[in-house]
Every structure is written in C-alpha cells, then in structure tokens.
Amino acid sequence: MSSSLDASAYRDLLQSFLSEDIGAGDITSEATVSATQRARGEVIAKAPLVLAGIELFAEVFRLLDPTAKAEIICRDAEELAPGKVPARINASARALLSGERVALNLLQRLSGVATLTRRFVSAVEGTSARILDTRKTTPGLRALEKYAVLVGGGKSHRKDLGEAVLIKENHIRLAGGVSAALAAAQGAKGRAAWIEIEVTNLDELRAALPCGPDVILLDNMSPALVRQAVEQVRAHDPARKIRTEASGESRWGTSGNSPKQARTGFRWAR
C-alpha cells in the first residue's frame, strides 16, 4: 500500500458518509444561509499531531460544491503544532456547513491513528523492530486507517483474511493443537504470502518451532517472556528465517488527551 493517497478514488465512500450525515438535506443551512453565499473555512490543529487525510478533507467539500477551492498548506505525515492551519477551503457557505462534520471526523480519526503510530515508531527507533498494524480496523475504513499507519511510519500486516495464514488460538483449539494446525496449514502455501501462528506460552512455542512457520506471533506475553521466547527462536533458527512478532494491549491512547483523539478545530473567516 502506498503512503500517498488519491482522494478521488474514495469519492463513493465519502459520498456515502455525506449521505448518512445529511440525510434528506441540511435543513438548518438551507433555512438560514443563502444558496449564493460563499465563505472560507480553515482547519486548525488543537494539539500536537501527525497529519493524515488532508486530501480527503478537501474532497468532501468538492463533492458538495464542484467549484470549491482547496489551499493545502501541509501534507500528510507532517507534524503539526497547536494552532497550525494545514488547509483552507473556499466554497459555497452551505457546502462548508454541511460537510464540516464528515470532513473533520475523518481528519481527526486518521490523524489520531497516524499520531499514535508515530509514538510507537519513535519508541523503537534504533532497533530492528517494526510497528505493524492489524485487521482491528473500523469496518469500511480499513484502507484509510491502514494508510494512516503508513503515514505515521508503521508497516502494513495482513490486509485481509485472504492474504496470509494466521493461526490463532481458536484455530489451534479446533485443529487439535499447535502441531496439527501448522501441519494442516501447509496446504495453503501456494496461496498464502506467509504462514504465521500465534502462541501464548513457551510450551506452544516449542511445539511450533519444528513445524517451520514463517512467523511466530508472541501474544500477550510479558517483556521478560518475550525475551525468552525470542532467544529460543534464535537458538532453534540461527539463520533467522523465522520472524517473530509480539502483540498485546497498549495503555497508550486511553486518556482524554490521547493522540487517538487528536483534535482539530474549524472556524470561518468571510
């Protein structure tokens, strides 16, 4: 997936978002604002953040007003300080009012993902570790949220269930164990980009190693246990053909000031 974004490729998706929000019509704007009135809006960062989705932000207003003009001042992946204005839009006043919530919601969501990703990437800087995303995305927003991860400096993992084999706890249980699940997965080698298995303890790891997975995912292990597991993988596979991943719940991004909720403001100047 490219770290650049062609906003026009998402016009149908954006239109569906607008249709959901506007419904039968923005009766407030239609009742109070002239159809011929034009206005200028600018988006303002209210917290330090990594920008993501600015072209989508502008595209929302182009859908509502084909004559809308966007002045893009900052590009995706730039770090913005509070008060920075990344874009200004000149368009029909009604279009600005009707589209602002969809445009802002997308910009906030994607910038929040990019900002949090950048924090993780900075935390492992100087090591060989990479930050990967998962399929735990918002339905309908996967491509955009994975794009935001790339903007933040992360890497893309599986884009969908059809790309690679990832044997998880329930697969192991239903298949009859780690070894049985990996043996059965060999039949997918021609179709899968890689074969990966999730293990939660050292016993499962030891069962997986002789079966030749491409990747072993160390799930919800403590840092000390992850260290032991990686040492065992390297002892078994000195050539390091088996990659290791670690996953677990992060405590970052749970407070009201978290980058997941990186906020932007919107004001008008006529």
Query: Would you please indicate which residues are annotated as catalytic (active-site) residues?
Result: 101, 136, 168, 198, 219
Residues 6 or more apart whose Cβ sits within 8 Å of residue 235: none
Q: Evaluate the CA torsion angle 133, 138, 141, 145 in order and state its sign.
A: negative
- Give the C-alpha separation, 154 to 116, whole Å: 10
Dihedral class, residue 147 (left if φ above 0, else alpha if ψ from -120 to 50, else beta): alpha
Instruction: Count other C-beta atoms under 10 Å from residue 23's C-beta.
Output: 9
Query: Which residues are registered as beta bridge partners of 264?
Result: 45
CB 51 within 8 A of CB 106: no
- Give the C-alpha separation, 115 to 137, whole Å: 16
Taking alpha carbons only, the member of 222, 223, 232, 157 closest to residue 196 is 157
Angle at alpha carbon of residue 154, lines to 149 and 160, rounded to 5°: 65
SS3 157: coil
